[in-house]
């Protein structure tokens, strides 16, 4: 634009003065228009980041001698209440829960309609978490707490502490922490049947807790990952943690609660016929402890097998021959205190066909074995009809191990790096319970160079043995583990590169596995100590990781 003005002033270059003057005026007008537009453009002002404000409540917060059935909390702007089912914690719990309005729509107040009969001389606290947000920007009114008392004063005592997880590096969000009053009605089963006297929740921001506005007394202190949010312990779905002894309030102590998932009680869910001569026994607990006994009379030619279903929590009871009866009677028991009798109705249904599944496919690790599993129970294998040949056409010797419960043959053989193995199985090598056999099957697997893997040596300091040393993924799933009874380095050889986490299980009962806790038995889970940092395991590297256990790790029974 400036260049155009300069050109117009040079008469010798622009002969038409009228055209030049027109161009000058036009450019000047455009400049004015742009400047005016810039000055007058609305910006909308600064973004609202302020949370809503409470201007009053009826009755006022921390009121005493409450006798009504409704509470109203008024705000200076329109608000919404979000995720109230998780965020709102009422202590003590009310049953039925109060009605909260409005939900999902904007309003300048929250109404709490109480339908429960409130206990006398009791302080009630409504913890809203981050559920209250303004309507425009969603700015939360953080952790608003409304307190009333049906008596002459507000209870002011507190119980504080923190939550850890028995197996995870960090506990999950939304952990409920509960106090049950120890009085004449208390029983150990209270966590299954009754609401707690007081409750709080860690929500999604912290692992610490504080139960406030409680009265003097003796209590059972419990933490719970309450999946269905009913304030009652469900062994099948919930995690639980508890303090070993009853606590006395007031107290200056801070309590640590360790969450764990209980091992389910051994139990069979009503069995049923699912295909020809195949009865599925759904179970809970440890299926290896269950004994299935047929009580009905059967012919001398009767034969059966029990296998674990690979996809469901079921034991499959297979039998031959087909029986001319409408039902079978079974007794199921374990080695402890469970026994139950079931009648299974029979009908004519087609049998499952035999299919064989081989693992792994493609690459095989040096620590892996080749396996073949059957869809129907395998009863015979002719080892001479299977060969393993490497890339040099050398026949490889192998040994087999058969697991009847998983219905799997494991093939063990020595593997060398950068090699290929062809596994050929001739017809009729494997026979199932119904007389079905395999066709010709060919598999191919190969090993990588050793430089594609890594070795990890773990050196424990101050350990109390025996221990189980485990490598896990970021979700806590165990990928590798070693058992050690004495102070010596533990080597994980030829493992796949990646990010691992190291933990040590203190095997106090020396059964070579982690044992979880049990609330009714007052049994805490075995201690697990986590190395604080991730292990960066790289291909071709040998990692030596020292893990010095703290003093609290030396006593596995300490909580």
Q: What DSSP string describes 428-476? A: TSEEETTS-B---EEEEEE---GGGSEEEEEEEES--SSEEEEEE-TT-
Stated as kind and residue range, the H or E segment containing 33 is helix 17-40
Same-domain check for residues 116 and 189:
no
User: Structure tokens of 55?
Assistant: 């201007």
Cβ proximity of 426 and 509 under 8 Å: no
Number of domains observed in the structure of the chain:
6
Same-domain check for residues 130 and 210:
no
Instruction: Please tell me what DSSP assigns to residue 518.
Output: B
Same-domain check for residues 369 and 441:
yes
> Percent of the chain having pLDDT more than 90?
82
75-107 in b/e form (b: 16+ CB < 10 A) is: bebebbbbebebbbbbbbbbeeebebeeeeeeb
Mean pLDDT lowest among 13-17, 36-40, 74-78, 291-295: 13-17
Query: How far is Cα 501 from Cα 545, in angstroms, rounded to an integer?
Result: 11
Same-domain check for residues 145 and 107:
yes
* Band of residue 40 on the pLDDT scale cut at 50, 70, 90: very low
Domain finish residue from 345, 379, 411: 345
Helices (H), strands (E): how many in the chain?
A: 5, 41
| CATH code assigned at 525 | 2.60.40.1120
Same-domain check for residues 278 and 363:
no
Query: Dihedral of the CA atoms 488, 494, 499, 500 (nearest 10)?
Result: -40
pLDDT tens string 185-229: 999 999 999 999 999 999 876 789 999 999 999 999 999 999 988
Query: How far is Cα 214 from Cα 196, in angstroms, rounded to an integer?
Result: 12
User: Can you state the percent helix, strand and coil of the chain, rounding each to 5?
Assistant: 10, 45, 50
* Band of residue 104 on the pLDDT scale cut at 50, 70, 90: confident
Query: How far is Cα 373 from Cα 315, in angstroms, rounded to an integer?
Result: 16
Q: Does residue 45 surpass a pLDDT of 80?
A: no
Domain finish residue from 287, 313, 345: 345
Query: How far is Cα 248 from Cα 235, in angstroms, rounded to an integer?
Result: 27
Domain of residue 315 covers: 267-345
Q: Are strands 420-425 and 339-345 parallel, antiparallel or unpaired?
A: unpaired
The pLDDT, as a whole number, for residue 259 is: 97
Residues contacting 374, CB < 8 A, separation 6+: 354, 355, 356, 357, 407, 408, 430, 432
Q: Does residue 19 surpass a pLDDT of 90?
A: no
Same-domain check for residues 529 and 462:
yes
Q: Does residue 10 surpass a pLDDT of 50?
A: no
* Band of residue 551 on the pLDDT scale cut at 50, 70, 90: low
At 21 the three-state DSSP class reads helix
Query: How far is Cα 99 from Cα 116, in angstroms, rounded to an integer?
Result: 10
In a domain, 383, yes or no: yes
Q: Does residue 84 surpass a pLDDT of 60?
A: yes
Stated as kind and residue range, the H or E segment containing 134 is strand 132-134
CA dist list (Å): 214 to 10, 68, 108, 181: 91, 21, 31, 11
Per-residue 3-state assignment (H helix, E strand, C coil) for 163-230: EEECCCCCCCCCCEEEEEECCCCCCCCHHHHCCCCEEEECCCCCCEEEEEEECCEEEEEEEEECCCCC
In a domain, 45, yes or no: no
The pLDDT, as a whole number, for residue 336 is: 81
In a domain, 254, yes or no: yes
| CATH code assigned at 302 | 2.60.40
In a domain, 48, yes or no: no
Q: Measured on CA atoms in the order 492, 496, 501, 507, is the torsion positive or negative?
A: negative
In a domain, 47, yes or no: no
Same-domain check for residues 372 and 289:
no
Nearest residue to 241 via CA among 158, 159, 166, 160:
166
Domain finish residue from 204, 238, 259: 259
338-364 in b/e form (b: 16+ CB < 10 A) is: beeebebebeeeebbebebebeeeeeb
At 380 the three-state DSSP class reads strand
Q: Does residue 133 surpass a pLDDT of 70?
A: yes
Same-domain check for residues 383 and 442:
yes
Same-domain check for residues 184 and 119:
no
In a domain, 350, yes or no: no
Same-domain check for residues 248 and 290:
no
In a domain, 93, yes or no: yes
> Percent of the chain having pLDDT more than 70?
90
The pLDDT, as a whole number, for residue 203 is: 81
* Band of residue 100 on the pLDDT scale cut at 50, 70, 90: very high
| CATH code assigned at 60 | 2.60.40.1220
pLDDT tens string 391-439: 999 999 999 999 999 999 999 999 999 999 999 999 999 999 999 999 9
Q: Does residue 137 surpass a pLDDT of 90?
A: no
Same-domain check for residues 28 and 67:
no
Query: How far is Cα 159 from Cα 211, in angstroms, rounded to an integer?
Result: 5
The pLDDT, as a whole number, for residue 552 is: 59
Query: Cβ–Cβ contacts within 10 Å for residue 185, how many?
Result: 8
Same-domain check for residues 459 and 370:
no
Q: Are strands 145-149 and 208-214 parallel, antiparallel or unpaired?
A: unpaired
pLDDT tens string 470-518: 999 999 999 999 999 999 999 999 999 999 999 999 999 999 999 999 9
**Helical axes 2-9 vs 17-40, angle rounded to 10°:** 160
* Band of residue 50 on the pLDDT scale cut at 50, 70, 90: confident
Per-residue 3-state assignment (H helix, E strand, C coil) for 251-267: CCCEEEEEEECCCCCCE
CA dist list (Å): 86 to 163, 177, 222, 231, 261: 18, 14, 18, 12, 21
| Mean pLDDT score of the chain | 90
pLDDT tens string 331-357: 999 988 899 999 999 999 999 999 999
Q: Does residue 555 surpass a pLDDT of 60?
A: no
Q: Does residue 30 surpass a pLDDT of 70?
A: no
At 117 the three-state DSSP class reads coil
Q: Does residue 553 surpass a pLDDT of 70?
A: no
436-445 in b/e form (b: 16+ CB < 10 A) is: bebeebebeb
When pLDDT is averaged across residues 260-269 and rounded to a whole number, the result is 94
């Amino acid at each position: 634009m400036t260049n155009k003005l300069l050109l117009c002033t040079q008469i010798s270059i622009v002969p038409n003065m009228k055209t030049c003057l027109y161009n000058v005026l036009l450019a000047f007008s455009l400049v004015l228009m742009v400047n005016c537009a810039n000055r007058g453009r609305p910006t909308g002002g600064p973004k609202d980041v302020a949370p809503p404000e409470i201007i009053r409540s009826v009755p006022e917060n921390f009121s005493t001698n409450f006798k009504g059935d409704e509470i109203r909390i008024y705000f200076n702007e329109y608000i919404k209440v979000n995720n109230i089912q998780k965020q709102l914690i009422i202590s003590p719990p009310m049953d039925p829960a109060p009605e909260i309005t409005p939900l999902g729509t904007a309003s300048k107040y929250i109404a709490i309609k109480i339908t429960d009969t409130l206990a006398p001389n009791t302080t009630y606290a409504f913890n809203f978490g981050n559920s209250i947000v303004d309507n425009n920007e969603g700015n939360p009114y953080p952790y608003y707490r409304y307190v009333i008392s049906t008596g002459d004063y507000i209870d002011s005592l507190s119980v504080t502490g923190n939550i850890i997880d028995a197996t995870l590096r960090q506990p999950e969000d939304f952990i409920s922490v509960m106090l049950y009053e120890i009085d004449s009605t208390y029983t150990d089963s209270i966590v299954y049947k009754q609401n707690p006297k007081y409750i709080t929740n860690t929500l999604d921001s912290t692992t610490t807790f504080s139960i406030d506005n409680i009265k003097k007394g003796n209590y059972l202190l419990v933490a719970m990952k309450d999946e269905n949010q009913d304030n009652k312990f469900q062994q099948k779905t919930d995690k639980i943690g508890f303090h070993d002894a009853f606590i006395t309030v007031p107290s200056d102590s801070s309590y640590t609660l360790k969450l764990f998932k209980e091992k389910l009680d051994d139990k069979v869910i009503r069995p049923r016929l699912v295909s020809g001569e195949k009865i599925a026994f759904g179970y809970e607990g440890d299926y290896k402890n269950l004994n299935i006994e047929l009580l009905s009379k059967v012919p001398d030619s009767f034969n059966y097998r029990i296998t674990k279903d690979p996809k469901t929590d079921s034991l499959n009871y297979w039998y031959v021959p087909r029986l001319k009866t409408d039902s079978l009677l079974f007794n199921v028991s374990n080695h402890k205190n469970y026994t139950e009798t079931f009648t299974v109705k029979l009908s004519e249904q087609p049998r499952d066909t035999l299919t064989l599944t081989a693992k792994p496919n493609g690459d095989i690790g040096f620590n892996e074995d080749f396996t073949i599993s059957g869809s129907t129970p395998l009863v015979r294998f002719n080892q001479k009809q299977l060969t393993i040949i490497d890339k040099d056409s050398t026949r490889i010797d192998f040994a087999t191990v058969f697991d009847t419960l998983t219905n799997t043959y494991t093939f063990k053989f020595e593997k060398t790096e950068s090699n290929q193995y062809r596994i050929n199985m001739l017809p009729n090598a494997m026979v199932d319970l119904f007389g079905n056999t395999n066709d010709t099957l060919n598999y191919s697997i190969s090993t990588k160079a050793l430089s594609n893997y890594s070795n990890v040596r773990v050196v424990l300091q101050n350990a109390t043995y025996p221990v189980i040393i485990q490598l896990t993924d970021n979700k806590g799933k165990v990928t590798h583990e070693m058992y050690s009874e004495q102070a010596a380095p533990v080597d994980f050889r030829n493992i796949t590169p990646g990010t691992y986490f190291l933990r040590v299980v203190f095997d106090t009962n020396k059964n070579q596995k982690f044992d979880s806790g049990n609330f009714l038995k007052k049994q805490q889970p075995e201690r697990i100590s986590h190395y604080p940092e991730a292990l960066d395991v790289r291909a071709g590297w040998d990692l030596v990781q020292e893990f010095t256990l703290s003093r609290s790790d030396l006593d596995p029974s300490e909580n």
